[in-house]
Each structure stands twice: as structure tokens, then as C-alpha cells.
Amino acid sequence: MRKFDVPNKFRSELITKIKLERKQNDRMKRDFSPTILNYSNVTFYLSRHFGFCFGVENAIEIAYKTLNENQGKRIFLLSEMIHNPEVNKDLEENGILFIQDTYGKNLIDWEEITSEDIVIIPAFGTTIFTENILKEKGINPLQYNTTCPFVEKVWNRSREIAQNNFTTIIHGKAQHEETRATFSHTEVHGKAITILNLDEAKFLAEVILGSKSEKEFYEKFGTKISENFDVNNDLIKIGVVNQTTMLAEETLEITEYLREIMIKKFGIEKISEHFADTRDTLCYATNDNQTATKELLKSDANISIVVGGYNSSNTTHIVKILDEKMPTYFIKNESEIKSKSEVHFFDIHTKTMKVDLEFLSKYQFPKIALTAGASCPDSEIEKVINKIISFYN
Ligand code: SF4
């Protein structure tokens, strides 16, 4: 895989060494078991896969290159480039300004942006609407574009199936930057609908099979369908793609489920006319991180720590997987670990910060499953390890 020029501050000598050794011993990526780091009093089960993925490294390389090449110019990022506070903070400290927040709300008025400015498109991509605003201002949206190639692959497949009159069902969070971008790029070529989970797929299935009415469909999905969506015609040919950071397993489950529904309605012999095969659009990094996380569940770890941005979708899904089996602490960085007996962490269920005043002190020799999201620098993981071992001489 291509090597990217990422600032050293985001790298870690320790983690690089571990990743390299695992890679050399398992070139085909068959072994997803964790790496065991034994420090006598504390043991870490370090996930086989975590940290910067291809798309994130690509985005970081472009962003810092843009900074170097355009000194003296105003440089804007359309929104957070990736969902990691350390990376975004560093970019801001280097003078980059964010035009929008995660939900597309402007933090800087479009009036203030001129053709003299540099605007970087984040790794999630952006909507056609925003691309057009930039074009009208004389800014080429493709010049500093960090959209991940795996996100573009989803857009390309959506375009292909839309050209054959298939409606694209996007498994994603309707408000997430990437889903908004995918929806927008799909809508140009055909019809689209966003569903959040299997429950919504089941609702859709009832509409397809006729046990739910047109009215119920529009009430449920009215804000998540493309313009002029016609429930009677636009659910005859469908295909499923996803927001690349959703649970890959859930996307596959939804895909298989809807395929079965289409078989029920149109028969197996006609299935290829009614259901598009889109499985090749799943992101490798999300898949590998989630597979490696499931391997962590097989360890005898007492607790798990997941490092990443609290608004990061892929990190939240990793937390969800671990949280079902063991106490899991979702922290943005090592500063949330105050001492052996105090940690501040994000609760994904209540979406609030919580404090645990026992943390590691409950265990004589803690065993910790440790991993991070695809946008978390390796340096942050090393800092967590160092902080924890500092409590144990
Ligand atoms: S998680 Fe996948 S799609 Fe998202 S930026 Fe990384 S490689 Fe690209």
C-alpha cells in the first residue's frame, strides 16, 4: 500500500514497530488476534488493526502539503477534515479555518470566501450543492480535494446502478457529512433513500411487500428520500451502499435481508433485475478494524479503552462492539485518564461525559484491550500506554 507523508507528531515509534512486525509476519492479513504487550503489572491487548486508514493518511498528506504550498494565503477546510480532535486542533493551530460544522451549518459566511482563498474538501467528500457554491466563487473544488477514494467508489457504484434505474439505499446516518455527500452525488443520477439500521430496512420491506401504506412510508422516510421519490415505482429496483464507517456486519445483514425481500416479491429467477450487487463497496479499513475488535472480545481483558473523537462514527461502532462484553472507556486522548482511579469518558448511550472513580484500581494486574478509530493518530495510543504504565512503576 502507498506510503503517505504524514507529520511525525502523529506517528509513534512503538506502534509503527508493532504494526510493521505484524504485517511482515502476516502479509495476507489472516491473523486478527491482538498483539500482547506485557509490562508485568499491566497487560495490553493491542488490536491488530486501528489508527489512520488509507483515506485519513491521504487527507492528512494533502492538507499539510496544501499548507506548505500556500503560505500567506487564507486556507479553509469545508468542515472537520476527519473526526479527530488532535488532528483538527493541529490544523487550526496551523491557521486553517473551518467553514462548516459537522452538520453542514456555516461557521463562516459564504460571503467571506473569495476566489483568492484555498478550500480543502474533507475526507468524507461534500455535496454537489456545496461544490456548486465553490464553483460559483471561482474555486475549483477538485484542486484540494481529500475525499477518500473508497467514498468515491461508493458514489461511482451508486451512479452505475442509478443509470440502470436502481434506487440507491444508503445505510448511514442522514446528518453525517459522508452520507449527505453520498446522497447528493447519488441523487444527481437517480433516486436515493437513507436508512439508519435493520429496523428501518424492515419498515421499508413492509412497504415493498405492501403491508405498509404509501402514507406510512412518507411519514417515516419523508426527510430521507430524494426529490420526487415515487414509492410505487422507486422501490422496484434497489441496491444497498453504506456510509463507509457504519458497522459492516449490519450493512451486510441489511443487504441480505432486502435481497430476500426482493426474491419474495419478484422471484429468484428475476433477482438480478431487481437487486444490485454492491458488496464490493465496503471499506477495507472499517472491516478490518471491526474484525480485529471482535478478536479483542476473545481475550481475557478486564476492560477496554478506545481512543478517538467523540463524533467519530467508526470509533463509536468499535466502542459498541466492545461495550457489549466488557467495561469500555471511550476517551479522546490520554488527558482523560487522570489517575489509576479516575478516568473521564464518553458514554455512547447517553451521549454525555461520565467519570469512573475506580477505573484501574479495581484490578491488581489490569488487562486492557486497547484500540482506536481510523482517524486516531498512533501517537495518541502510545501516550495512553505510557500514561497507564507510569502508574505501575
Ligand atoms: S474509513 Fe475507509 S472510507 Fe473512511 S476514510 Fe478510511 S479508508 Fe476511506
CA of 174 to the centre of ligand 1 (A): 18
pLDDT of residue 141: 93
Tell me the three cell numbers of residue 25: 509476519
Give the chain's end-to-end CA distance (angstroms, integer).
39
281: pLDDT strictly greater than 90: no
Mapped onto helix, strand or coil, the DSSP state of residue 353 is: strand
pLDDT in tens, 37-64: 999 899 999 999 999 999 999 999 999 9
- Which is the closest atom of ligand 1 to the Cα of 286? 1
> What amino acid occupies position 262?
M
Name the active-site residue from 131, 177, 178, 336: 178
pLDDT score, position 81: 85
What residue owns the CA closest to ligand 1's atom 6?
A: 55
The pLDDT assigned to 20 comes to 96
pLDDT digits (tens, 9 = 90+) for 1-37: 788 999 999 999 999 999 999 999 999 999 999 999 9
CB 169 within 8 A of CB 239: yes
Domains, the chain, ordered by start: 8-53+285-390 (3.40.1010.20), 54-136 (3.40.50.11270), 149-282 (3.40.1010.20)
How many Å apart are CA 277 and CA 329, to the nearest integer?
37
What pLDDT is attached to residue 92? Answer: 94
Mutate to test the pocket of ligand 1, among 1, 52, 56, 170 (most ligand atoms within 8 A of CB): 56
Q: Which residues contact 142 (CB under 8 A, 6 or more apart)?
A: 121
pTM of the model: 0.92
Give per-residue pLDDT as tens, 58-78.
999 999 999 999 999 999 999
pLDDT at 182 exceeding the cut of 90: yes
Mean pLDDT of the chain: 96
Ligand 1 atom nearest to CA at 123: 5
State mean pLDDT over 285-307: 97
- Per the annotation, the verdict on 178 as an active-site residue is yes
